[in-house]
Structure 1
Amino acid sequence: MKNFSYLFRLIVLVSVFIGSELSAETPENTIKIFRKLSEKLQSVKKISYHYTREFTYPAEDYHSKSEGEMYIDFRKENELVGFRYQYKDETGFSVFNNAELFEVSEEDRTIQISTKLKISDFEGLSALYNSMITMRNMLPAVIADRNMVKQVKDTLIGKKRFYLLSFQTQDMYPDYLGRTFKKTTQKITFYNTIIVDKKSFLPVSYIQLKKGSRDVNRTDFSNIMLDPATPEGESWYYSTYLKDYKERKKESVMAIGVGQRAPDFTLVQNENGEKVSLNNFRGHPVLLEFWIKNCSYCISAVPELNVLNTKYGLSGLKILGINATDSQRVINQFVQRQKVNYTVLLGDATVSKNYGISAFPHIILIDKQGYVIYSGGFDIAILNALISKSL
């Protein structure tokens, strides 16, 4: 069971939503099976597994796959977030020992530590994305939400029987820890499916799709062991690795705030190579959108930004999309595929640093006098109101 073949993966994915040759459970049994999975995960004290994370975005011709080995300890003494873990892949490893989180890079042989941790510090850790931890924490909320569409079917993959537990979420998706659901700024229906081994009653896959999109996010769990041997004591401590890895200081990144003067910049326009400076637009409100190619929310923001440009462009609003990560060839492909109707600039590290950009898309709205009046995620309702007032 280490890996499903591509054919079986495709069969499962299609079968979940078409429903061919699947037997469905009654509504009563559906809830019972969801509860049984939740109770099974809640009963786990220690677990290890081979973890595979795969993103496929056909419209962007993008596919990413990573995998590694995960060990999680859910025992009671792990108070901060309810667990400690060790994760290792070909790029390095990360360890959270209930007091400190440190990450090691094999590429540059460095180690970075974080202390005084908050729950939000665990958001974005790749080993936690749609993981066993996510499912363990989110399932009680899924079960309790009577408005959430849920279904259970059973199927045969190879010679093994599995349950397919599916549920829909509207305009929200689970965070990495599964403790809450994050709201989207767009109207999006998410289809979530957990594939459960009937014999062990443990998840072997978590698939996430979006209505009207061919994008697929998938995590797989194989070589699952309950109550595995605990990694040796010294492996949990930051000091153990200092003789082999040099310490890397964590840079604090804080996005520019409302009320600050927007730093000027001069960047090259993607379309024609001409230079564009922010100060050129003094006397007009300016919306900066910092984006990257491999970001589903950046993609979904484009139609709304196009609408804003059409609605307010003739009244003086200037929209500048800034990409400091991807090549010009990739940016050109994105602009053409997504039919971007506003100006796109080739960014650089200095501009991103000056504006404190660490997540995408990040929107900066600047008034006619050059001061920031909004800094944050893409929220069409807020932006509409602020732009109307600033014109």
Structure 2
Amino acid sequence: MKNLSYPFRLILLLSVVISTGLSAGTPDNELNIFRKLSGKLQSVKTIAYHYTREFTYPAEDYHSKSEGEMYIDFSKENDLAGFRYQYRDTTGFSIFNNAELFETSAEDRTIQVKSKVTPADFEGLSPLYNSIITLRNILPAVISDQSILKQVKDTLIGKKQYYLLNFQTQDRYPDYLGKSFTLTTEKIRFYNTIIVDRKSFLPVSYIQLKKGSRDVNRTDFSRIVLNPAEPKENSWYYSTYLKEYKEKKRESVKLIDAGQVAPDFNLVRNETGEKVSLQQFRGHPVLLEFWIRNCSYCIKAVPDLNTLNTRYGVSGLKVLAINTMDSQQAIHQFVDRHKVHYDTLNGDASVNENYGVSAFPQIILIDKQGIVLYSGDLNISILDAMIGKSL
């Protein structure tokens, strides 16, 4: 399964055409293919594979690819989450041993340990994104939900036969563990394609697209081995690695609450290069947006923020979009491409920590006296009412 990029992209385009033509109801013979894949994954006790995760967002001129080696044990005694795993790549490794979750950084030789693990702790872990674990858990829900349109097609890749299992979801997508669906805050139709080896009946790729977008999220599973040799027993315990890695305490991040004093900052206005502080806007309500380039929701926020800036800017509202993660060139490209009509700031990333920002975009509305009125997602109806009262 080497060098599959081009044919897989061709299959991807074909699957989108197929998916958009799905109709209500799934023939039993096609539904049985979904059931067979689900049954196969449910029967797996242990599995190892080479995992590749690739994001391609043409509108943002963004492409990211990461890969590593995954081992998963689904044995019954792993009852906390239904599995334990080890994942290793060039940046370090991540291990969950059914009691503790720990990750290392090869760069600074540190190890972070999390005890009392909850399902929320698995969200955001790269090796679990649209993984075998995700598919194993989400397929029963996909099969049983009649509102999810499903279809199966045959295809050839390099003279080898595969199934294309297509299904659509509206305003929701599988979470990292596949235990449930994450709901979107806007109307989005997701096209999902699982490419299945007809001989082994194991998935080799999971591809996600969104209607009206050229963005592609893709995960590949290659060099799959069922019932592989188990890692050494002491490899499951973080104490084994303390001679090589220094333990780093995990810091909890909480978004600043309404009622708190907004921390001052000193950043740079991208448009002019001048220094900007929050203090200089005292006497005006200020709306901060924390954003990054690689974020479809940040793109979709631009028209709404432009509207707020136009509607209330003449009355004194200051809209400031803060990006401390991307280069100045990348920010300029974003501003030009998406026609941003409000000021963008960059500089010291500590402003993110001071406001408790760990996801993007995040909105902070501050009153004339520098007190936080609102913090959270971009909710135009809430912000409209609050801004009107604060002017």
TM-score normalized by structure 1? 0.94
2:103 alignment counterpart: 103
Q: Which moved more, 1:119-128 or 1:315-324?
A: 315-324
2:232 match: 232
The letter for the 1-side match of 2:237 is Y
Counterpart contact for 1:185–1:380, Cα < 8 Å: no
Q: Secondary structure at the match of 1:156?
A: strand
Distance 1:305 1:70 in 2: 42
User: Aligned ranges for residues 307-318 of structure 1 at < 5 Å?
Assistant: 307-318=307-318
Contact 1:186/1:300 (<8 A) preserved: no
Partner letter of residue 149 of structure 1?
L
Q: Which amino acid aligns with 2:251?
A: E
Letter in 2 for 1:87: Y
d(CA) in 2 for partners of 1:293 and 1:92?
25
Alignment of 1:325 with 2:325, yes or no, is: yes
Give how far 1:389 is off: 4.0
In structure 1, the residue matched to 2:11 is 12
| Alpha-carbon offset, residue 121 of structure 1 | 0.8
- Separation in structure 1 between the aligned mates of residue 191 and residue 95 of structure 2, nearest angstrom: 31
1:373, CA displacement in angstroms?
A: 2.2
Q: Is the 8 A contact 1:196 1:202 kept in 2?
A: yes
Mapping 1:37-52, distance limit 5 Å: 37-52=37-52
SS of corresponding position for 2:310 = helix
In structure 1, the residue matched to 2:121 is 121
In structure 2, give the amino acid aligned to 1:17: V
Which runs of 5 or more residues in structure 2 are unaligned?
none
| Mapped contact 2:152–2:164 kept (Cα < 8 A) | yes
Residue in 2 that maps onto 1:198: 198
| Identical amino acids, percent of aligned pairs | 71
What SS does structure 1 have at the residue aligned with 2:321?
A: strand
Does structure 2 retain, via aligned residues, the 8 Å contact 1:185–1:379? no
d(CA) in 1 for partners of 2:322 and 2:26?
50
| Cα offset, 1:307, TM superposition | 2.3
Please list the CA deviations of residues 69-92 of structure 1 after superposition, one character each: whole Å capped at 9, or x if unmatched.
Answer: 000011111122111000001111
* CA-CA distance at 1:265 after TM superposition: 1.9
Specify the alignment match of 1:72 in structure 2. 72
CA contact under 8 A between 2:26 and 2:149: conserved in structure 1?
A: no
Number of equivalences:
388
Hey, what's the Cα distance between the residues in 2 that align with 1:148 and 1:347?
A: 44
Residue aligning to 1:215: 215
1:377, distance to aligned residue in structure 2 (A): 2.6
- Cα gap change, 1:114 to 1:311, in 2 (>3 Å): same
The answer for unaligned runs of 5 or more in structure 1 is none
Aligned to 2:132: 132
How far the C-alpha of 1:19 sits from its partner, in A, is 4.2
> Partners of 1:254 and 1:189 in 2: how far apart?
31
- Find the aligned partners of 2:379 and 2:207 in 1 and give their Cα distance: 27
**Distance between the aligned counterparts of 2:390 and 2:39, measured in 1?**
53
Change (3 A) 1:381 1:155: farther
1:173 partner amino acid? Y
Partner of residue 374, structure 1: 374
Q: What displacement does 1:367 show?
A: 2.5
**C-alpha RMSD of the superposition:** 2.0
Would the aligned equivalents of 2:267 and 2:276 in 1 still touch at CA under 8 Å?
Answer: yes
Name the counterpart of 2:143.
Answer: 143
For 2:175 and 2:380, the matched residues in 1 are separated by 22
- How many angstroms apart in 1 are the aligned matches of 2:27 and 2:310? 47
Contact 2:193–2:206 under 8 Å retained in 1: yes
Counterpart amino acid of 1:277?
S
CA contact (8 A) 2:26 2:150 kept: no
Greater shift, 306-315 or 143-152, is seen at: 306-315
Deviation at 1:26, TM superposition (A): 5.9
Structure 1 window deviating more from structure 2 (65-74 vs 341-350): it is 341-350
The match for 2:293 is 293
